[in-house]
Amino acid sequence: MKRSGIFIKVFIYTIIFSALLVGATAALFSQQLMFYFSRLRMEGISDAFQRMADQSQGEDDITELARRFYERDPSFQFYIRDKAGHIIYETPGADLSGIAIGQQPPGGKNSTILVNLNKDYNFHALRDDVFAVNYDKWIARALVMLSAMFAVCVIGAFVFARQMTKPIQTLANNTTKMSNLEEVPPLPERKDELGTLARDIHSMYDKLKDTISKLEDEILRERELEETQRYFFSAASHELKTPIAATSVLLEGMLENVGDYKDHPKYLRECVKMMDAQSKMISEILEIVNLNNGKIVPVPERLDIRHIVADMLPNYRTLSEANGQRMVMNILDGQTCFTDPQMLKKVLSNIILNAVQNTPEGGEIRIWSEPVADRYRLCILNTRARIGDAVLPKLFDPFYRVDQARSRKNGRSGLGLTIVQKTLEAMEIGFALENTPDGVLFWIELPKAL
């Protein structure tokens, strides 16, 4: 449909309706108008006749009086009869055919209007001339009046069609933009049905955009999740394949009693050691899968932050002292949080162990907490350490190791920070790993206990 199509249709329909209304009005009142003008004409002639009758009183020459009257008003034809029925005067254009002496004028064309001038004379005006109103003039006036009425109807139809179709055209243009997901300004406030329709359409469009935005976010999240899972399982298969292949080689060598593999106890212990490492890695993989699937649900409790950290530090002091490191804790008493104790311990265990393993000799591992709004920010800083800006975002990826050879030698699976990330996300706790002037800082924000 063309942009102006509805305007043209409404305009044409309104014009047709107006024309029919004007035509019906003219047809209905035309007879009344003709009768009205004829009546005025008859009254005028009657008055003229009466004046003539008054003037004829005392006059002997009625024919002279009639002649002068005709000269003053030649718009109609008449004749005068005496008492005996003889025609004593007739106007030059009067058609008296069929009118005999002493007879009444017949009906039809020559029918007359009779006025008694006095007891001796009768004045007969021909009816056709009496009703011969100036129709040309009347028709001209009627046409002017009808044209004016029709012009008013056209202007009214144009204004009406424009007022009716303008908001509809605007709404149609807006819906076209909506179909292309373009920004659409709201229509001016209206109190009628069009205003209600416009509000409903804009409300539906806003909801549609929100739904599309959510779907796009969901699709993006699903793609990221699929990519993460694909990378995770690819890395997991690689991590599991290498030690399994090594164990298979050891077992085959022992079965064949080849060379040094004859020392079965030695290499069986190596196999058991590798299988224990694999068992631990598989447990961590299953834990990550359960966290992703929401099978591990936090059970929050009221916890004392200083108490829970202090209970964990002795497990790592021996290792830190062996590395020439110093552990410092500065957490005030009375700072309590509301979270899952087992999941929090799992997170702190991985973070503190990671700090001990990556703090150089002579460095410090500082642990403190500080209030931030309705939370306590628990900070763990390992000094004299720094992580490259390109490496920092990758540390939470599964099986990522900065030093592959050293990490494998130390028995690191590369899943520690991945477990920390998934656990904190399940607990809905904010966290960050960042470089500071003093070293590498890992902080988590624990909700305050009410």
| Residue 181 clears pLDDT 70, i.e. is over it | yes
Q: Collapse the DSSP code of 329 into the 3-class scheme (helix H, G, I; strand E, B; otherwise coil) and give the result.
A: strand
What amino acid is encoded at 401 in this protein? R
pLDDT in the model for residue 255? 83
Could you report the per-residue pLDDT of 17-62, keeping only the tens digit for each?
877 877 777 777 766 766 676 667 666 666 766 666 666 555 557 7
Average pLDDT for 343-353? 92
| Residue 432 clears pLDDT 80, i.e. is over it | yes
Q: Per-residue confidence at 13, pLDDT binned at 50, 70, 90?
A: confident
Residue labelled with tokens 């004007």: 22
Q: Collapse the DSSP code of 77 into the 3-class scheme (helix H, G, I; strand E, B; otherwise coil) and give the result.
A: coil
Q: Per-residue confidence at 262, pLDDT binned at 50, 70, 90?
A: confident
Q: Which residues of 341-372 are buried (b: 16+ CB within 10 A; e: fewer)?
A: eebbebbbbbbbebbbbbbeeebbbbbbbeee
What are 191's two structure tokens? 């109190």
Tell me which long-range contacts 369-375 makes (C-beta under 8 A, separation of at least 24). 369/305, 369/306, 369/331, 369/332, 369/335, 371/335, 371/448, 372/445, 374/447, 374/448, 375/337, 375/430, 375/445, 375/446, 375/447, 375/448
Q: Give the dihedral of Cα atoms 245, 248, 253, 254; nearest 10 deg.
A: 150
* Percentage of residues of the chain with pLDDT beyond 70: 79
Average pLDDT for 78-106? 71
Q: d(Cα 121, Cα 119) in Å, to the nearest integer?
A: 6
pLDDT in the model for residue 65? 76
Average pLDDT for 81-99? 78
The rounded mean pLDDT for the chain is 78
What amino acid is encoded at 342 in this protein? Q
| Residue 328 clears pLDDT 60, i.e. is over it | yes
Q: Which one has a higher pLDDT value, 2 or 386?
A: 386
Cα-only R_g, the chain: 57
Residue labelled with tokens 């607990």: 427
